[in-house]
A and B are shown apart, each in its own frame.
Chain A
Amino acid sequence: MATALTDNPTANDAANDAANDAANGADAGTPAVRLSHVSKSFGRPGHGQTVLDDISLDVAPGEFVCLLGASGCGKSTLLNLVAGLDAPSSGEIRVAGDRRPALMFQEHALFPWLTAGKNVELALRLRGVPRGERREEAERLLELVRLRGAYGKRVHELSGGMRQRVAMARALAQKSSVLLMDEPFAALDAITRDVLHEELTRIWQATGDVSVLFVTHNVREAVRLAQRVVLLSSRPGRIARQWQVGIPQPRRIEDAAVADLSVEITEQLRGEIRRHGQH
């Protein structure tokens, strides 16, 4: 399989293109998300801390990409930039389509003053769906995450896993072509997380052309879910290496192939972390 080892930004792009070609067959088309030489620093220019350094990354339409990294690699910052909640210090971010990307957080971020169904309907309303169609569409989306009976439930009446599924339904209600996920399952217990991995894979497959950019520090989770794993180094965050995951779905987190690749990625990740202890 194609392996590109590069040392400069231009070739970095070439590596991306190669990865996208792999994900999309011969036709790369317009990427759903394109980051070109994106850097982000906080604090005074020149004296601040650089969180992201020269990130170039394309996500193809319908592609599932996991951003993997230890603390301080700026993966959440990167998602905020793509979501438009913050602006890059330099470089350019382009998101295909005219809808803003949907974003799911580690906390469910559902509004506690609304029922599960009304949370979904609010997203529909803000998208401009006419009043008469909202209820039916919200029920369809809840059905998609298998929470048909939860329409009238308050957020606090739902378990952690159910809340994240409602949050997923709400994100899907935005009908955006890009779904950004910021460690959405990190706060869940292992059994629920495992089920939600399966659920997310199923829903991603069912929706067809939604691109997912999924941030995690859990290597197994990344390999379990993604078509491509992007490893970020820390302080500043740079793309250290990418893996194309060819293991067919449905995968299980206990699969030997998932384990093997996880070992390889973990080694690389540990190497990145060790570098920080050396000076």
Chain B
Amino acid sequence: MASTETTTATGPSAPGGDGPERPVPGGGDRAADGLAGLEAGLDALETPAAQRTPAGRVLRTKVLPPVAAVLLVLAAWQLAAQADLKPDYMLPGPLDVWNALAEEWYRGTILGTVWNSVSRGALGFAASLAIGTPLGLLVARVGFVRAAIGPVLSGLQSLPSVAWVPAAIIWFGLTDATIYAVVLLGAVPSIANGLVGGVDRVPPLYLRAGRTLGATGLRGVRHVLLPAALPGYLSGLKQGWAFSWRSLMAAELIAVSPDLGTGLGQLLENARVLQDMSLVLGAISLILVVGIGIELLVFAPLERRVLRGRGLLARG
């Protein structure tokens, strides 16, 4: 048994009694003012000065290099086409591709085609989001669910969603349902897995802090767990969009039917049937441009905002 001992040390100017020393607050106003000034000085010294990168430098270091790279590739392509390395029906130049797209534009169908695909992609993505988020949360937080379907869910990510197309056609025929089924099967696992990863990487300290603040149960999920997992969730969403778009193109490419509105995949397939290589390449570049464009316009700013708000991203 440990011995316990209580002794009292009394300072030189201690009052005679054994009561607690609690001077009346405000008694030492000058001392308090000194402390406030000291603290303000420390705060000022230790707060990092905010700095902005000038626009010129952003242009030079962030915008110029990729633009130059694209121009270089286009120039090499044009040179190769002009040198007639392959016959024109196999290797048209970038200008031929541009003209083929322009022709589609003048026929007035191209915007409708892009819109068909984008709206399908967006709708499919939204549905994947609505299914993948609760699913991911269940897998992340319920041990039994995780043990049961966690491995299947991450395994599904490595299954190319184009493999689902034949099955979907047999189930749903050549309808929109086929397309959406393939998109969902492609995107839901990556959204759910992103959330699982995000939840797993939440620092335990946040959860402990949340519990001491009284954020338990659903309130803990809402106020601590989900916001803390947001960066991982967002990268899951980004990947989920890429999978949606890929699956959509696979589905549109195979499920061609007059009943289905023309999307970019169908445009590509039609061009192949017509042996129109310029339009094939044009459709491929449109698919690429739309996919990259949505990532750059929607996901990249969202992710940057979240990371920057948390100080996880250096400015500039």
Given A62-B20, A174-B213, A246-B21, A238 contacting B2 (CB threshold 8 A):
yes
The interface stretch among A87-95, A152-160, A212-220 is: A152-160
A250 within 8 A of B: yes
B22 and chain A: residue at smallest CB distance:
A205
Contact of A7 among B3, B28, B39 (CB under 8 A): B3
Query: Closest CB of chain B to A264's CB: distance in Å?
Result: 7
Interface flag for A187 (CB, 8 Å)? no
B259 within 8 A of A: no
Any A CB within 8 A of the CB of B25: yes
- Chain B residues with CB under 8 A of A198: 35
Is there contact, CB below 8 Å, between A2 and B8? yes
Are A100 and B212 in touch, CB under 8 angstroms?
Answer: yes
Q: Which of B1-45 contact A (CB under 8 A)?
A: 1-15, 18-23, 25, 28, 31-32, 35-36, 38-40, 42-43
Does A222 belong to the interface (CB within 8 Å)?
no
Instruction: Please indicate the chain A residues that have their CB under 8 angstroms from the CB of B48 in the complex.
Output: 157
Q: How large is the interface on A (under 10, 10 to 19, 20 to 34, 35 or more residues)?
A: 35 or more
Answer whether residue B72 sits at the interface, using C-beta atoms and an 8 A cutoff. no
Chain A residue nearest to B40 (CB atoms) is A146
Give the docked Cα–Cα distance between A85 and B211 (Å): 8
User: Are B35 and A22 closer than 8 Å at their CB atoms?
Assistant: no
Within 8 Å by CB of A227, from B20, B31, B43, B213, lies B20
A3: chain B residues within 8 A (beta carbon)? 5-7
* Residues on the A chain within 8 Å of B208, using CB: 85, 103, 105, 109
Closest to A248 in B: B21
Secondary structure class of chain A's binding surface, majority of residues = mixed
Contacts of A199 in B (CB 8 A): 35, 39
Contact B5 A246 (CB under 8 A): no
Which residues between 83 and 125 of chain B lie within 8 Å of chain A, taking CB atoms? none
* Residues from chain B with Cβ under 8 Å of A206 in the complex: 25
Contacts of A110 in B (CB 8 A): 209
When C-beta atoms are compared, the residue in chain B nearest to A159 turns out to be B46
Residue contact B25 to A202, C-beta cutoff 8 Å: yes
Residues in chain A near residue B6, CB distance under 8 A:
2-4, 15, 18-19, 241-244
Considering the chains assembled together, what is the distance between the CA atoms of A6 and B5 in angstroms? 7
Tell me if B's interface is mostly helix, strand, loop or mixed.
mixed
Is A77 an interface residue when CB atoms closer than 8 A count as contact?
no
The minimal Cβ–Cβ distance linking B202 to chain A, given in whole angstroms, is 11
* Stretch binding the partner chain, chosen from B183-191, B224-232, B238-246, B291-299: B224-232
Chain A residues with CB under 8 Å of B227's CB are: 111, 113-114
Q: Does B57 contact A (CB under 8 A)?
A: no
Interface residues of B in 160-178 (CB under 8 A from A): none
Contacts of B230 in A (CB 8 A): 113
Chain A residues within 8 Å of B25, by CB:
202, 205-206
Q: Are B3 and A248 in contact (CB under 8 A)?
A: no
Residues of B207-235 whose CB lies within 8 A of A: 208-209, 211-215, 219, 223-224, 227-228, 230
Decide if B3 touches A23 in the complex (CB within 8 Å).
no
A183 at the interface (CB under 8 A from B): no
For the complex, give the distance between the alpha carbons of A7 and B3 in Å.
Answer: 5
Which residue on chain A has the smallest CB distance to residue B48?
A157
A202 touches B11 (CB 8 A): no
A227 close to B311 (CB less than 8 A): no
Taking a contact as CB atoms under 8 Å apart, the answer to whether B3 and A156 are in contact is no
Q: Tell whether A248 pairs with B14 under 8 Å between CB atoms, given A85-B208, A111-B206, A111-B227.
A: yes
Shortest beta-carbon distance, A177 to chain B, in Å? 14
Is B309 part of the binding interface, using a Cβ–Cβ cutoff of 8 Å? yes
Q: Which residues in B have their C-beta under 8 angstroms from that of A85?
A: 208, 211-212
Is A255 interfacial (CB-CB < 8 Å)?
A: yes
A243 to B9, CA, bound (A): 7
Name 28 interchain pairs, CB-CB below 8 A, sorted by A: A2-B8, A8-B1, A15-B4, A19-B6, A62-B20, A103-B209, A105-B209, A107-B205, A112-B310, A126-B219, A127-B214, A154-B310, A154-B311, A156-B311, A157-B47, A199-B35, A202-B25, A205-B22, A241-B3, A241-B7, A242-B4, A242-B5, A242-B7, A247-B11, A248-B14, A248-B21, A255-B11, A261-B9
List the 10 closest A-B pairs by CB distance, nearest first.
A156-B311, A159-B46, A247-B11, A1-B8, A238-B2, A244-B8, A246-B10, A257-B11, A109-B209, A112-B310
